[in-house]
Structure 1
Amino acid sequence: MRRKLLFAERMLHGNGELPFNAVIPIKIKGTFPEENLHHALRKLQEKHLLLNAAVADDEDGMPWFVVAEGESAPIPVRITERSGAGDWKKESMQEWSGVFNTRKGPLMRVVWIKGAEVSEMILVLHHCLCDGGSAMAILAELLLLIDDGTVNIGKEDPILSMHDIIPAEILKSRKKIIKAKLIGGVATFALWLVPLKKRLIERKKDYMLHWKLEKELSDRLMLRCKSEKLTVNTVLCAAVLQAFQEVRKAAFHNKISCPVDIRRFAPQIKRDNIFAFGLMFVVSADQQLDFLGNARKMQEDIDRKTAKLDAYETIMMMEASHSSLANFTDFLKYGKSSNDCMFSNLGKIDIVHQYKTFELETIFSPSVIGPLGNTTTLVTSTYRGQMDFTFVASEGFIPYEEALEIQHKLMEIINKL
């Protein structure tokens, strides 16, 4: 199997020498044999061809996912003894900087923090391989297989090209093709014109803050959002922006980027497809309004932007822009950051919690740190009725003490709703 990397996947892969890892930790109560895990991972590789892939360049220097004929290298597992409840944080931060050998593969590994009765397990995937939706699908299948190695998880029909994502009538539309090339050309020219000082901002020490809302508070927040006819995502966006504003003051940009699951707009991409492309919109606050007034106006803005999102057109435009990749990457790495953070809400995670031999106590919200500019990221998810937050950043962008203040301010805002 060979598949050329799409524009976004190339950007996330870079030259393969720098880490860009999605880290997904979970907590399990109960025990199972080590062989169950290895068997489950082999079964995952049988279903998902890309879990066997390495990245190889063709004669033109374009990278491809390549799965060799015959037996592939197994997904590696590192087992460490559990000494305390905070081990998963330390191991997660260690995994941020662990570089995958993308030229050899596979692009996934597992860390098992093994305890007598309680364990944490961390799935680590190169971000060029998959997004949050793919990662959750892999996690759900992995847990089923650990519990029962005979369960049938099917076989993925992998995405091999744009033709597997974009309907033929759109992909062949002369109007769409011209528009994509025009926008791609303009973007390439604009990036070429942008003057950049090739000096990286010193990232300094990376760190993580993690916390959960009590179930009662999670329920209260969701009910309040429903009563105000606002989505939880919008209210959280408003709360995040207010927290950044009150703490960062003059350094506040009033801008957060929000990834959107592309599967909502491109039904050809199935829930269990391994895929890394995401859509994005930017949200800002109206600082002249009170909290709920701002949230309502923000909801209108988000609804309008979401309605305009065109997954097919975006992919076609980006695929027409491969020649601008180096300039775009430089812009992200060296350009002055104008975002406060990236805010990603995975929403409710529908993964079974009770298995025959163990219980999935919690799924910690994933974390990711890459080499492309501002690392400040807030990810939230809801599992078993509790909202969970992971705040990742670097001292060079936001001092740790300010991040703590932002966390406290965010909780204060949520508690007042």
Structure 2
Amino acid sequence: MSFDRNLGRLEQAMEILNTRATTWNVVTISRINGSVNEDVIRQSLDLIQCRHPRLNSHIVSSRNGWKFQTEGTDKIPLRVVKKLDSKQWLEVFYEEMNNKIDSNKYLLRVVLVHILSDRHVSFLITTAHHAIADALSCIRLHSEILTYYQEISVGEAIKPLINLTPLPPTEELIPQDKKGLKGKINSLFFLLHLAWQKLWYRPETLGFEKYLPIAQRYSDVIHRQLEPELTQQLVNRCRQENTTVNSALCAAMMFTVAQKLLKNNKKFVRLSCLSYLDVRRHINPAISDENMAVLATSNMGFHAIHTNTNFWQLAREVKQKLEASLKQGNIFKMILIAKYLIDFCFIYPKQVAATVSVSNVGKVNIPKVYGELEVEEISFAGTHALYGGLFTIHASTFQGKMLLNFVFSRPSISPETMEALVNTFITYILNISQCQHDFCLHDIPQRDYYPVKQ
């Protein structure tokens, strides 16, 4: 049975981002305790490539644009790297973020990093084309790879593979009343409303410290971790304040930028926050995490922050605006207009897409132990070379620990500036999590120490 088909509009946008800007490919990293055999990893990759038809596809040009094609697809590339120290996984992460996917050959590649100073620590890094995957499906894919690894290692008979049927384009999965002519008209009005909001609010951003054309930009990352005790304190405070962890992360990101922008007796600043959401649970019937597709959408919120803005009130405002947007079906409208927004970034490369961006998958629900192997950490990030001047965070929580990847486009933001922003963000998280009273923008002092793992 052939699973070849033309790419949908959102999938086309992801291919444009990959080929023209090395942007929005999904890089997922697992830290594994145990001796990992590369030959067994190779066999596991062959199995998942059979199970997931889109992993056995590549993208080719056709008379009607681009299409997924199975015939002629390469095996999933596996590269094995040896590094001296466990912190050097970030070097490989950096390399993966800044190498586009050869989509005319494959749509997923894998790196196994062995740590020479500790033979029992390895890192499994996958880079997936966003046209076929999102963060949730990539995290689930790591679990599948390690599950097959466990079965092969102990000599178990591999259960008959249940090959998944690839999903249609994301635009075809949204509710019927959001599609067709009515959907196009509503999406056009939504696009115009979004443009009007940007003109009305005129949100400020970090801007460009140094401007370069899109083709010369590249992604960088700063990694931080919140230990389980601090993570739980944050969760508890969010519950007390009738808001969500995602909304608190959005508020902390905006507070961080506002503190930098509010200088010289300036009293308030208008900012925009781009939040990414999983649409699986909003589609009927719901779609499982194991189905590989681009099943993420976004929501843009606009906020005014004054020097006396209460942190928790801002977090609740973020939550309320997101809930209102969900009720209006805006998450589906964003899917339909996403390609226009991406095209805009290429047409106007000096524009900054938003002030801050937050992608939080929440609690990761995969097993920790796979025979003799144990997953100690798992996190992800989307490559962001295109999006100059954007302060971005990718968050996941595994085994009680929150892992944070702050991705930024260089040279629009320098490493020194990003390091200072991240430290300010962590200061806000520490204070709001550990103190019971309310905070305004300038109530939180800077700390000279950061009890957070780097």
Q: Same fold (TM over 0.5)?
A: yes
Q: Superposed, which structure 2 residues align to 1:170-185 within 5 Å?
A: 170=177, 175-176=182-183, 179=186, 183=189
Give the alignment partner of residue 265 of structure 1, picking from 282, 287, 292. Answer: 282
Q: Superposed, which structure 2 residues align to 1:9-408 within 5 Å?
A: 9-14=11-16, 16=19, 18-20=21-23, 21-60=25-64, 62-68=65-71, 72-103=73-104, 105-115=105-115, 116-149=119-152, 150-151=158-159, 154-161=162-169, 165-166=173-174, 170=177, 175-176=182-183, 179=186, 183=189, 200=213, 206-249=219-262, 254-268=271-285, 269-288=287-306, 289-310=309-330, 312=332, 314-315=334-335, 317-318=336-337, 327-331=343-347, 334-371=349-386, 373-374=388-389, 376-408=391-423
Task: Say how many residue pairs are matched.
Answer: 398
Note if contact 1:201-1:396 (Cα within 8 Å) is conserved in structure 2. Answer: no
Q: Separation in 2 of the partners of 1:234 and 1:22? A: 23
Q: CA deviation at 1:253?
A: 5.7
- What TM-score, normalized to structure 2? 0.79
Note if contact 2:254-2:356 (Cα within 8 Å) is conserved in structure 1. Answer: no
Which amino acid is the alignment partner of residue 310 of structure 2?
Answer: D
SS at match of 2:357: strand
Q: Separation in 2 of the partners of 1:367 and 1:42? A: 25
> In 2 relative to 1, CA 33–200 (structure 1 residues): closer, same or farther, beyond 3 Å?
closer
SS at match of 1:287: strand
SS at match of 1:114: strand
Q: Separation in 2 of the partners of 1:241 and 1:351? A: 31
Gaps of 5+ in 1: 191-197
Which amino acid is the alignment partner of residue 301 of structure 2?
Answer: V
Which amino acid is the alignment partner of residue 67 of structure 1?
Answer: T
Q: Separation in 2 of the partners of 1:240 and 1:312? A: 25
Deviations 1:347-369 (A, max 9, x none): 00011111211111111333422
> In 2 relative to 1, CA 178–287 (structure 1 residues): closer, same or farther, beyond 3 Å?
closer
Which amino acid is the alignment partner of residue 321 of structure 2?
Answer: D
Larger displacement relative to structure 2 (31-40 or 108-117)? 31-40
Note if contact 2:386-2:409 (Cα within 8 Å) is conserved in structure 1. Answer: no
SS at match of 2:344: helix
Which amino acid is the alignment partner of residue 387 of structure 1?
Answer: M
Matching residue of 1:193: none
> In 2 relative to 1, CA 172–396 (structure 1 residues): closer, same or farther, beyond 3 Å?
closer
Q: CA deviation at 1:57?
A: 1.7
Q: CA deviation at 1:326?
A: 8.4
Q: CA deviation at 1:302?
A: 2.1
> In 2 relative to 1, CA 2–311 (structure 1 residues): closer, same or farther, beyond 3 Å?
farther
> In 2 relative to 1, CA 261–330 (structure 1 residues): closer, same or farther, beyond 3 Å?
same
Q: Separation in 1 of the partners of 2:367 and 2:112? A: 20
Note if contact 2:93-2:125 (Cα within 8 Å) is conserved in structure 1. Answer: yes
Gaps of 5+ in 2: 153-157, 197-210, 433-454
Q: Separation in 2 of the partners of 1:204 and 1:32? A: 35
Q: CA deviation at 1:416?
A: 1.2
Which amino acid is the alignment partner of residue 31 of structure 1?
Answer: S
- What TM-score, normalized to structure 1? 0.85
Identity across matched positions, percent: 22
Larger displacement relative to structure 2 (396-405 or 34-43)? 396-405
Note if contact 2:98-2:218 (Cα within 8 Å) is conserved in structure 1. Answer: no
> In 2 relative to 1, CA 54–173 (structure 1 residues): closer, same or farther, beyond 3 Å?
closer
